[in-house]
Amino acid sequence: MAVLNEQLFMEVHHHSHTVGKKWTHYFWEFLMLFLAVLAGFFAENLREHYIEVKREKQYIQSLIADLKDDIRLLNEGMEFQSSKIKMMDSLIKFFNYPEILKKDLNKFYYLARIGTRTRPFANNSRTYDQLKSSGNFRLITDLEVSNRIMSYYEGFPYLHQMEDIYYQELDDYKMYAVRIFDPLSLIAFENNDGIVNRHAEYPVVVNNDPTLMKQISVYAIYMKGSRRLILEIENDIKRKSEELIKYLEQRYHLK
């Protein structure tokens, strides 16, 4: 029994003195683990970068679609303003030349109903608003791209400011119009669907005092001037929209 215990003691003692692994072995194990973690880190970063680049391009494509929609709306708006400017020119002549007024009261009333009308321009800023509200403007890493986009949309407040000026001038114009136009005659030019006709039976003018006509004519001239400026602004915005589309398509290779 003593011999057996001695053999066991010698065996355990022998294993406890087994030579350990060299430090280089642990170094290479650590290095391989470090490189594996680093590779995973870079792979994840590349994946996120790829996703963000893809999302950036999708936003740009959506923005270009909005800009093209703006161009369509601007073309409609400019055509509308151009036609109303011509109507205002004719209306101003009616106010200033009594002999023309007597010859064609129907046209006078028609222009009074249609020529002064307006409509605010509403651009399509869906993608731009989404980029701002969601914080995704950070996806657009090129500073020049983001500056050009913001510069384009900064032009609309000026347009709306001019529209507000026109509305104020229209309110002043109406203060004189109520003293000149007969309400029943104005109604007679409108059909059941709300569409204004060019002719009505026996329209009359309540007051054709020359001084009053000159006064309302001044406001009509102001309104026409505001329309011309609105038309110029819309034309300038359209030009910028076309330039921005061309720039974005080239920058993101979308053609």
Residue (of 118, 116, 109) closest to 88 by Cα position: 116
Whether the predicted pLDDT of 206 surpasses 60: yes
The dihedral through the CA atoms of 243, 250, 51, 33 has a sign that is negative
Dig out the tokens for 38 from the structure.
């680093």
Question: Tokens 């893809």 label which residue?
Answer: 54
DSSP symbols for 65-100: HHHHHHHHHHHHHHHHHHHHHHHHHHHHHHHH-HHH
Interval 175-202: pLDDT, tens: 999 999 988 888 888 887 778 888 777 7
Predicted local distance difference test score (pLDDT) of residue 49: 54
Q: What is the pLDDT of residues 62-101, one digit of tens each?
A: 999 999 999 999 999 999 999 999 999 999 999 999 889 8
Whole-angstrom distance, CA of residue 254 vs CA of residue 68: 14
H or E segment and range at residue 117: none
User: What one-character DSSP code corresponds to residue 154?
Assistant: T
pLDDT digits (tens, 9 = 90+) for 2-17: 444 455 445 545 544 4
